[in-house]
Structure 1
């Protein structure tokens, strides 16, 4: 796809409820492109026009759970102060969006994918981890938790330019866990694609089903970002990461219904 069509595709997949209820002009304005581009995009997919494509999103909305934007508005109403100009307003806005994003996980995460990811990690000889730029904290969090439950793991550290070379030591008995969001780190994408070619199982956490990680992952978790701003939070992907490790811990700790990650003073 052209860059414009890629931009439109990302907006459609990450904002399906807005696409269902707004006019093409309003949607185009939110997306930052021209309405005519949306019409041509729909026609390129075989639809007569944008309204024909929009029907799919409207049918989905008839049975869908409340969307991200609706949750934000409801939470803002509960917290009263919707336009807080103070420094504390930054915290309030982040908290509101994170609560809505975390609630969305219950609708968006496939339970079967979560179970499959935990099976892969628990059975793996070694878990390799990779995440760069804004994704790095999530990968580091995974390393900490996996180490605490006694699972052997290796961080593919980009320092010294060794990440891709370290990844070549992976075998079919290992599992790769990759975390990447827009704009996707080239090295991470390359490592994931190479793992697929070597038939190494991969668990990926990203921001969209259009992510370059999606086509190579065996277990994939899309955590959409609904605002492309400086203050993009990692609360939701970190929650997904922790859920995967807890499910893995339950398998490693003799099927415990209450798996634990011991704190440092307990180790």
Structure 2
């Protein structure tokens, strides 16, 4: 039995998991990612339900908790429950209502599929509103506003998020460079990132290799990086000056971009508010402005 003193609060637990993550077994790493990415689910579900969802035996969750100094998983879970009760009053009830609503729905029609996705997106957006740090939003908006050039990076299903950012930021008069994977040039284009530039990267599991490599190289070069990802254990997290973890809710096939798209729009609105000319009659400069 591990005789170490276990963390007494959620924040210390997450820090310990981060510190140990690289040296963990593959199974423990998967458990770590789930715990950090789905804290509300960890708080309200049994260890058996969580294990079944992860495809990992429940005994592994118990041993994981014991490796951190806890007597069992329930003791570790209590930290998640305390976080939920203090940080998000009423969220447990909403989660249970959502699950009941989905389970009781007999509608397997096309409209039924749409309805399920919309209901899940509502929960995802509510979680985003409660979990995103206002200071991080302000810091990211300030970095984007002051950047000489904004480099945007996102591939596969993350591509629509950076395409939206390029469109709106360009219309606000910001100089943007999309690190497009077409032609295999993204890595070479990223070498032009300067000290007064900012890299905004978006990536979710399973992380695109080129995105991870570019972020790592830019981080080593001292570039200011804003990252939108799915977890604080994302490979982008280590290098990000500002990280927005947007946990993904399980979809059977389609994983929605509603929350990261909403976050991206919030960032550009915050930038727009900073680039207005004058206080008496504020006007947002655009590429079509005179």
Regarding TM over 0.5, the answer is: yes
2 CA distance for matches of 1:150 and 1:136?
A: 21
What's the secondary structure of 1:83's corresponding residue? coil
What displacement does 1:28 show?
1.3
TM-score by length of 2: 0.83
- Tell me whether 1:17 sits opposite 2:44 in the alignment: no
Unaligned segments of structure 2, at least 5 residues: 1-23
Aligned to 2:185: 162
Deviation string for 1:198-246 (max 9, x for gaps)? 1110001011111111111011111110205321010110110111111
What's the secondary structure of 1:202's corresponding residue? strand
Root-mean-square deviation (CA, aligned residues, Å) is: 2.8
Cα separation, partners in 2 of 1:64 and 1:83, compared to 1, 3 Å: farther
What displacement does 1:101 show?
1.1
Aligned to 2:172: 149
Give the 5 Å matches for 1:45-56: 45-56=68-79
Aligned to 1:83: 106
- Tell me whether 1:58 sits opposite 2:120 in the alignment: no
Contact 1:145 1:261 in 2 (8 A): no
What's the secondary structure of 2:187's corresponding residue? helix
How many residue pairs match? The answer is: 266
Aligned to 1:242: 265
What displacement does 1:12 show?
1.4
Cα separation, partners in 2 of 1:258 and 1:163, compared to 1, 3 Å: same
Contact 1:121 1:175 in 2 (8 A): yes
2 CA distance for matches of 1:102 and 1:263?
A: 31
Give the 5 Å matches for 1:98-117: 98-117=121-140
- Tell me whether 1:41 sits opposite 2:64 in the alignment: yes
- Tell me whether 1:131 sits opposite 2:154 in the alignment: yes
1 CA distance for matches of 2:152 and 2:45?
A: 41
TM-score by length of 1: 0.90
- Tell me whether 1:120 sits opposite 2:143 in the alignment: yes
What's the secondary structure of 1:194's corresponding residue? helix
What displacement does 1:27 show?
2.1
